[in-house]
Amino acid sequence: MPCAMLTDAFGNAVTLHDESALGGLNDFALGFLASEARAVNIIATAANDSSPLVQAYAAAVYMFAESPDGPKNAQPFLDRALAAAHSANDREQRFIHAVKAWVEGDIPRAIQLHEEQARLYPRDLVSLKLGDYHLFNIGDAPGMLRLLLGTTTAAGDICYLHGMLAFALEQCLMLEPAEAAARKAIAMQRREPWAHHALAHVMLTQGRIHEGHAFMQDVSDTWTGLNSFMVTHNWWHQALFALELDRHAEVLDLYDSQVWGVAKDYSQDQVNAVSLLARLEMAGVDVGDRWHDVANYLEARVNDHVLPFLDMQYLYALARADRPQADVLMRNIEAYARTAPAHMQAAWQRVCVPASRGLLAHARGDFTQAIEAMGAATPRLAEIGGSHAQRDLFMQVYVDSLVRGGQLAGAQHMLQQQARLSPESARLARQAASINTALGIAQAA
């Protein structure tokens, strides 16, 4: 018989078969919102308690692996959640069916259920964050923000909501309110890594490079007990600030000590590594044999196709490491794009396929092909998901292709604009000056 009158860490009523499961359930809820490794404790809880929400949370953990095995590994937990769903309350049932839609690949249905949950149960922050995750992955930044806006009255006392708002606002390029939301979250709780992350985005976008570098260094002492994505990604952001300042030795040290090596088999750790190595090379830095270690973990990814944003970076790394699997993955991307789910078909066909061809060409030194293919994809890059800062990798590849392909006028136009928007960036100033010199216009600049 379900335990009566139990609530989770955010005050939502929960249906548990054993009251002792509440600790594991809250580990997931708080761990997920705080980006802490304790979220996975729900797996052990699910082994001992068949409560439907516990089982649905466990299924979600396996889906976050972002691998083709995710749905298969999540299914037994989902089956148990569905079998016991009749004993769950309305909020829990809706969440279970949102996870079911996710496992089945029906992301629009999952989003619809999370949107309903936000209206009916605005303190269900697990549902809010999962809905934001799906919207982020399809490039719908306004949807991310819209999902959260109606929840501030009911859940405004929770620091994590303001961190989520900050990131959604930043992705909509509403930078001043994004900073205000991030600082509110941090004032409520200094250890709020998602708010740190959102504020790093704001400062990078506004060209506040020195301030961003100092800020992330200052709060980095709180990045303990986090999941591998959050800790490596926040250090990745610190590395981006250092890279803009041409502190190449610092960036390489951050790569080796903080960005790569925490969970080498995890998708997000992998793309952090790929992106940073590529940016280092385009900034003129010799990265040695680092591509090979990353590629060792990506050879098994040739059939993944979980998200186009991920496949594109797997491909680039395999090509830079000169692995034959790069050609296999390229063919597989082209084949998958023809049968991709309807809600993502345009992103795979019109963005991922041409961009992947461009990335493969750039990695192999065919800059004419890279220019043509990347030029076709760049206007629609938002559709593949990822953040502005993450997608800037692909813009950098395009600009680098223009430079190395001899199309200096086009490169100058883009680099000069970027340098003006980020006057503290030594990298952009150096690259723009080099192009202006090559074009014979350095004196005017």
- pLDDT means per 10 residues in the chain (445 residues)? 80 96 98 98 97 98 97 98 97 98 98 98 98 98 97 98 98 98 98 98 98 98 97 98 98 98 97 98 98 98 98 98 98 98 97 98 98 97 97 98 97 96 97 96 88
Same fold for the pair 1-141 and 156-226: yes
Per-residue pLDDT at 2: 67
What CA–CA distance (Å, rounded) separates 391 from 267?
A: 16
CATH of domain 1-141: 1.25.40
Give CA–CA dist 83/101, Å, rounded: 16
Question: What is the model's pLDDT at position 443?
Answer: 87
CATH code given to domain 156-226? 1.25.40
User: Percent helix, strand, coil in the chain (nearest 5)?
Assistant: 75, 0, 25
d(CA 149, CA 118): 9
- Does the pTM surpass 0.95? The reply is yes
Chain CA centroid to CA 23, Å = 28
Sign, Cα dihedral of 221, 226, 227, 230 = negative
Q: What are the domain boundaries of the chain?
A: 1-141, 156-226
What integer pLDDT is reported at residue 408 of this predicted model?
97
- The dihedral built from the CA positions of residue 405, 410, 414 and 415, taken in this order, carries a sign that is positive
